[in-house]
Chains A and B, each alone.
Chain A
Amino acid sequence: MPPLELVRCNACHHRFLPTDGPCPKCGSVDCTTYSAPPVGKVLAATELHYPAAGFHAPHPLLLVEVSDAVRVLAIADGSLPAPGALVEVRSEGDVYRARPEPTR
């Protein structure tokens, strides 16, 4: 699983998921991307039964916390994990997907 790309703000040290703008906390553009393990903990999980046009029901969405307390909104692959579960997170362009972390 490739590492996850995160961003560190060099002005306020806030860490966040790549976005199309500057640091969401202080507005600085002085930011550096870095690699982080692609693993996180599910904070919340739901299935949309009335998805937006272009998506199919039930559409599973997760709020995941990865390293440095950075949060990711991810589509769940497979069955919906419960809050607290560990997942692997990968990005496909702007979209993030998560699946249960394989047992080691």
Chain B
Amino acid sequence: MTLHVASVGMGRFGKRPEGLVDLAAEAANLALEGVGRKTVDLLVVGSMFAQGPHGKEALLPRLAGRLGLETASGFRVDSSSGTGAMAFHAAALALESGRFERALVIAAEKMTDRPTAEITRDLAASLHTTEAVAGATMPALAALVTQRYLERYAFPTDVLDAVAVHARAMAVENPNAHFQKAVTAEEVAASRPVALPLRLLHCSAISDGATALVLERGTGPATVLGLGQGFDALRLIDREELTSFAATRVAARRAYEKAHLTRKEVEVVELHDAFASFALIHTEDLGFCGPGEAPRWFESGWVTREGRLPINPSGGVIGRGHPVAASGLAEIGEVALQLRGEAGRHATAQRPKVGLAHAVSGIAAHNFVTILGAGGP
């Protein structure tokens, strides 16, 4: 069965006054309007955080009621920062079963109303228990990985600065991005240390936001061509490699095989740059270049909207902001917008025919690759 993304709804990412249900409903209504409010018989919702006041408990029926979808069936999924991609994959699998016609997929997060230390602790809960009890956080483990990456290829930290500059430059053209101001390499290098070598502007921010899209039977410019997932050891110390993520490599291989495509046919990419160094590692793991070659791509401008392979034309996680559960779906949504010719100011110079979205759960313990493209099999 062939499926395609029929519409994408995305509100502004950033510090928002609304609660979780309102953010989710805003994106959902945009997506529903995009298909003329056609009947939806499946609702898949993803969220990682948001305790009682935000309605995490019973989030699904709250949203179903709010959106008038009580006749639909529904699921809620959670895979930390990969939640949005998992929601999309779950919806696709359910539609492929033949029991449903059209799914509304929503991923939303409310984060900015809580202290940073609390959010940091709750994000670290997706790490292995023995890492969390040592006080490890996502940026801490990312910093250790980054050190190994820089040391392995004898790169200066400038290579990280170039990624952050790219992300923020792309975000300026995305009206829904959290960050609307470009930064210079000097500003990145002078930003506050988070966990060296990672500085504040190398890291994704705490944001509120939601994305929704309608996935239905049929074909279109954003047809689902291939889905892939991959796991890796949850505990970083148990990984064979520290400068490459097996979960991405496995997910990509499976998605390329399913799509009967190679990386050479991919014309736009949204990857999960929660940290600047991760953008480099993901670019390599997705097969777009060899190990240690990604910095050249970012420093040479090959990844801009006019470049040979546009990467994160939305601004990515660093530029668009990182409402954790929503990011994975925003990545897929951005690729769909580019393929559908609906990306507006952040459209790539050439409208792409094939795009790839990549999402990461935790410290790359469960990653997702989604390939969309024109037409059908």
Q: Which residues of B contact A53 (CB under 8 A)?
A: 115, 117-118, 120-121
Which stretch in B52-60, B129-137, B216-224, B289-297 binds the other chain?
A: B129-137
Q: Indicate whether A47 sits within 8 Å of B195 (C-beta atoms), given known contacts A61-B144, A95-B133.
A: yes
Tell me which of A50, A83, A95 contacts B139 (CB under 8 A). A50
Judge whether B130 and A73 touch: CB under 8 Å.
yes
Min Cβ gap A30→B in Å is: 17
Distance, CA A43 to CA B236, complexed state (A) = 13
A44 within 8 A of partner (CB): yes
Judge whether A63 and B117 touch: CB under 8 Å.
no
Min Cβ gap B207→A in Å is: 16
Tell me which of A17, A49, A72, A95 contacts B193 (CB under 8 A). A49
Q: Which residues of A contact B195 (CB under 8 A)?
A: 46-50, 61
B24 within 8 A of partner (CB): no
Q: Which residues of A contact B130 (CB under 8 A)?
A: 17, 19-20, 73, 94-95
Smallest CB-CB A-B distances: 8 pairs: A52-B121, A71-B237, A24-B238, A44-B147, A46-B143, A53-B117, A44-B144, A55-B135
Q: Indicate whether A72 sits within 8 Å of B147 (C-beta atoms), given known contacts A50-B117, A50-B194.
A: no
Judge whether B118 and A61 touch: CB under 8 Å.
no
Within 8 A of A (CB), among B144-199: 144-145, 147-148, 151, 192-198
Q: Indicate whether A52 sits within 8 Å of B124 (C-beta atoms), given known contacts A20-B129, A24-B233, A46-B196.
A: yes
Q: Which residues of B contact A96 (CB under 8 A)?
A: 134
Within 8 A of B (CB), among A65-103: 70-75, 83, 94-96
Main secondary structure of the interface of B (DSSP, over half): helix
Tell me which of B137, B145, B193, B197 contacts A52 (CB under 8 A). B137
Min Cβ gap A44→B in Å is: 4
Tell me which of B116, B132, B197, B235 contacts A50 (CB under 8 A). B116
B259 within 8 A of partner (CB): no
A59 within 8 A of partner (CB): yes
Min Cβ gap B319→A in Å is: 20
B140 within 8 A of partner (CB): yes
Q: Which residues of B contact A61 (CB under 8 A)?
A: 134-136, 140, 144, 195
Within 8 A of B (CB), among A28-63: 43-55, 59, 61, 63
Instruction: Using CB atoms, name the residue of chain B closest to A97.
Output: B134
Distance, CA A19 to CA B236, complexed state (A) = 12
Judge whether A19 and B235 touch: CB under 8 Å.
yes
Judge whether A50 and B131 touch: CB under 8 Å.
no
Q: Which residues of A contact B144 (CB under 8 A)?
A: 43-46, 61, 63
Distance, CA A96 to CA B135, complexed state (A) = 11
Distance, CA A95 to CA B195, complexed state (A) = 20
Q: Indicate whether A25 sits within 8 Å of B140 (C-beta atoms), given known contacts A44-B147, A46-B147.
A: no
Judge whether B235 and A48 touch: CB under 8 Å.
no
Judge whether A51 and B134 touch: CB under 8 Å.
no
Within 8 A of A (CB), among B227-286: 233, 235-238, 242
Q: Which residues of B contact A49 (CB under 8 A)?
A: 192-195
Judge whether B139 and A73 touch: CB under 8 Å.
no
Q: Indicate whether A83 sits within 8 Å of B151 (C-beta atoms), given known contacts A19-B238, A48-B135.
A: yes
